Chain A
Amino acid sequence: MNEEYILQLQHIRKEYSGVIALKDVSLELKKGEILALIGENGAGKSTLIKTCSGAVIPTSGKIIINGREFTSMSPQLAAENGIAIIYQEFNNVKGLSAAENLFLGNPIKKGILVDKKAMEKEAEKAFAQLNIKINPKTLAGDLTVGYQQMVEIAKAIMQDAKVLIMDEPSAPLTSAEVESMFKVCELLKSKGVSIIYISHRLEEIYRLSDRIVVLRDGEYIKTLITKDSHIDELIHLMVGRDLKESYPPRKACIKEDEIVLELRNVCGNGDKDINLKLRKGEVLGLGGLVGAGRTELAQMVFGVVRKTSGKIIFNGKEIDPKTPREAIDCGIALVPEDRKRHGVLLGISVKNNINMPIYNKISRASVINSKKEQENAKKYKDDLLIKTPTLNQLVKNLSGGNQQKVILGKWLAANSELIIFDEPTRGIDVGAKFEIYKLMNDLVEQGKTILLISSEMEELMGMSDRIIVLSEGQITGELKKQEFKQDSIMRLASAVKEVKNEN
């Protein structure tokens, strides 16, 4: 086989009960190179690297490390063959020192006792090798995020890793920390270590990588030589799918002069200076990558997390919801991203779920008016075509699409005016998706207003009247319907507006 490559993935395929996560993906990593792996959310990057660590067993395909062939890996095999992954969540124990973390699970012993001194000495050497200054005695919990990451890297190198896979390593770091991480990466590269670097920050990729592999929708798209490629080409490769799905049409229903929601310099929950206006009958899309601060913004409007500054103006009145209850009473509703954990109450009935926000209103002296309860549930079951044998069916027995409709029924029963949809069609089959889209159209045609958060580019472009894109907690741009283009959205989503503040 080819001597040049330390790691080869050949024709990797992964299916999850009929859903294809990876489709014939191949990748080659040379000795001592930094290979960037890029793609949108859900492109399959994480699944791919997990096949290297043994966390994911491929359905078919080969993994070749230093000429040895494997059909799948296990965490142990990966370690033996010199593959280490630095995840976004560190595997450290906060209450142990940096040195002890370095030797976690494999301490230097003196008889039956742990030899702290020897470990600290070794740790010092390991850190010196990477040109990093960490006192081995410092508790991991007292180190900055950047240094905690360095400890992870040092650990991998100490265990003789030849391939280092880094999953969004720069995401939690300040810009100075990113600089020192880069230095470590380059140092490792010069020592012959190969790195697979996953990041959505394109400018980092241009600074650091030798080659770029692009994935899209679980498929291998292309490999580029970094210095010969251009950022426009890259963005186009990431998002350049043909738009084939059709979206149900809707009547023009935007009331230009009626502002339902206005945010003025809203800060908090990781977001900064958010300004936007939402008109009655409009579907405003919020685009961006996972972690861009869109859900966080929704949480502030819905009273889950309080904003730290700025103004939220709803129907001309300033509001400051401290609890979801207050937001609901104003007329704001949230269809959350994690349907099963945050959206529906799985263990209780369809009827109870739909009435939950208004029980206090359909009760007299705390006693529920069961006729009204039944009527309400029946109305929204019929209006939204919720498929359930009876209203007393437990929600956990319904399909994902019907659960989503129950949530919607709940908010319609509560007479909400503004409905925030956070990834409304995640994990819902195609037929049910289309129904949800139609319902959204019905809602705006009836004078409701929608804020749509979606990571699915097609859905965002197909359903929104206007799109605002966020990146790292800030608005990076706004697009009108006629300006919608996957490339422009992606460019805004990966933009970094300004250097992150130092801690």
Chain B
Amino acid sequence: MKTNVLNQLKSKAIWVVFALLFIGFALANPRFLSSSNLFTIARQVSMYGIASIGMTFVILIAGIDLSTGSVITIVNIVCAYLMVNSGFSMAAAVICSLLMATLIGVLNGFLVSTIGIPAIIATFATQIVFEGAAYLLSGGTPVYGFDERFKVIGQGYLGPIPVPVIIMICCFAIGAFILNKTYFGRYFYAVGGNEEASKLSGIRVGAVKYLIYALSGLFAGLAGIVMLSRTNSAQPTAGKGYEFDVITCVVLGGVSVSGGYGKISNVVAGVLIIGILTNGMVLLNVSTYMQMVVKGIVLALAVGFDCLQQKRASK
């Protein structure tokens, strides 16, 4: 019984951390609690949140996707290019760029699953390739001048709630649904827990990997669309370094880097923590470089905690 309570507490620990951080920032700077600031945080985290769904799946199978930032960038550029220079309708441009993001994910799946390149190298390579491609396509200059209606995705409100927040909540719901209700979700946990045993239980592990990397691309692409609408111009550096924050969110949310364990609900907490951490540090006038130092330490702590637990469990 006692260990049960302890385990309960452990699984909620991330929410406790969130609450402490929240209270701490609120005490340190009264502006933190203002409704406009809270909405800013909500809008900021929406992109992390959306991209973190795909990353959660990837890390669940003990993989990694370093191409997330580049996918966001190239979706920005391509979607903007299609709308501004190619005369695509808004919907067509969005669908085409999401399709492309998914295909980049499929490419990652091919490199990891069919060719057998370690995920960290395969997605590192695609990161570089598509970062370069985005520059080539844009000529290094921003693309802008979209239809006013396009702004709704990133800047609009539905009642009092920002549209990107609604998109994020939908994405979390879809993510949780996939993990808990569909058979793919069961496969994700199985493959993450033990690839060989999964294969011997009749799971087509290769196909599962393709699916997961494709979904990671798709969700990153969606985050890219939200970003494009929010900033209203496509920058060739739009998503640079984004994968770092997204990975931190997911790992903070307790998804084990060795695979097989993790819950979407806790990833939500991880996303919120990174959100308020970033925002709070800005309010407290912490320099960008100091922010990097802090975030790097947070990532190391989160992964370290997970690894220590794994080590203890294996003893």
Contact = CB atoms under 8 A, between A and B. Distances in A.
Given A325-B203, A357-B202, A368-B181, A348 B197 contact: no
Contact of A347 (B187, B193, B199): B193
B210 to A, nearest CB: 15
Contact of A346 (B183, B194, B202): B194
A368 B201 contact: no
Given A346-B193, A348-B193, A410 B201 contact: yes
A342 B196 contact: yes
Nearest to B185: A368
Interface string B25-55: 0000000000000000000000000000000
A336 B182 contact: no
A37 to B, nearest CB: 34
Contact of B197 (A341, A352, A360, A363): A341
Which of B187, B194, B261 has the most chain A CB within a 10 Å cutoff? B194
Contacts of A336: 200
A356 B203 contact: yes
B10 interface: no
Interface in B176-216: 181-184, 186-187, 189-190, 193-194, 196-204
B260 interface: yes
A324 B199 contact: yes
A112 interface: no
A186 to B, nearest CB: 44
A359 B185 CA distance: 10
A356 B189 contact: no
A343 interface: yes
A243 interface: no
A414 interface: yes
Given A347-B261, A368-B182, A334 B200 contact: yes
Given A352-B190, A359-B187, A342 B261 contact: no
Contacts of B203: 325, 356
Contacts of A346: 193-194
B183 A324 contact: no
Which of B189, B193, B201, B260 has the most chain A CB within a 10 Å cutoff? B201
A360 B182 CA distance: 9
Contact of A368 (B186, B189, B196, B197): B186
A344 B203 CA distance: 13
A363 B190 contact: no
A304 interface: yes
Contacts of A410: 201
A405 to B, nearest CB: 15
A347 B202 contact: no
Nearest to A299: B200
Given A352-B190, A359-B187, A328 B197 contact: no
Contacts of B193: 345-348
Nearest to A356: B201
A370 B261 CA distance: 21
Contacts of B189: 347-348, 352
Contacts of B198: 345, 356
A366 interface: yes
A367 interface: yes
B91 to A, nearest CB: 25
A304 B200 contact: yes
A325 B190 contact: no
A442 B113 CA distance: 41
Nearest to B193: A347
A39 to B, nearest CB: 31
Nearest to A348: B189
Interface in B150-189: 181-184, 186-187, 189
A325 B197 contact: no
A323 interface: yes
A157 to B, nearest CB: 39
A367 B182 contact: yes
A12 to B, nearest CB: 29
A324 B202 contact: yes
Contacts of A352: 186, 189-190
B183 A345 contact: no
Which of B182, B194, B197 has the most chain A CB within a 10 Å cutoff? B197
Nearest to A325: B202
B200 A359 contact: no
A359 B201 CA distance: 11
A62 B204 CA distance: 54
Which of B189, B200, B204, B260 has the most chain A CB within a 10 Å cutoff? B200
A348 B190 contact: yes
A415 to B, nearest CB: 12
Nearest to A363: B183
A324 B260 CA distance: 21
Contact of A363 (B182, B201, B202, B204): B182
Interface string A324-364: 11001100001010000111111110001101110110110
Which of A343, A345, A359, A368 has the most chain B CB within a 10 Å cutoff? A345
A325 B208 CA distance: 13
A341 B183 contact: no
B194 A356 contact: no
Nearest to A329: B202
A323 B204 contact: yes
A325 to B, nearest CB: 5
A329 B204 CA distance: 13
Interface string B250-275: 00000000001100000000000000
A362 B181 CA distance: 12
B186 A356 contact: yes
A363 B184 CA distance: 10
Contacts of A360: 183
Contacts of B194: 341, 345-347
Nearest to B204: A325
Contact of A342 (B186, B200, B202, B260): B200
A345 B197 CA distance: 6
Contacts of A353: 201
Contacts of A343: 197, 200
A298 to B, nearest CB: 11
Contacts of B182: 363, 366-368
B261 A356 contact: no
Given A347-B260, A356-B202, A341 B196 contact: yes
Nearest to A358: B202
Which of A344, A362, A366, A410 has the most chain B CB within a 10 Å cutoff? A366
A270 B200 CA distance: 20
A366 B183 contact: yes
A367 B182 CA distance: 4
A373 to B, nearest CB: 9
Contacts of A357: 201-202
A323 B206 CA distance: 11
B183 A328 contact: no
Interface in A9-62: none
23 contacts: A302-B200, A323-B204, A324-B199, A324-B202, A325-B203, A325-B204, A329-B202, A342-B196, A343-B197, A344-B197, A345-B190, A347-B193, A347-B260, A347-B261, A348-B193, A353-B201, A355-B186, A356-B186, A362-B183, A366-B184, A367-B182, A368-B183, A368-B186
| Complex A-B, nearest 5 residue pairs according to Cβ-Cβ distance, in ascending order | A359-B183, A347-B193, A357-B202, A328-B202, A356-B201
Given A324-B199, A345-B197, A359-B187, 6 more contacts: A342-B196, A345-B198, A345-B201, A352-B189, A356-B202, A414-B202
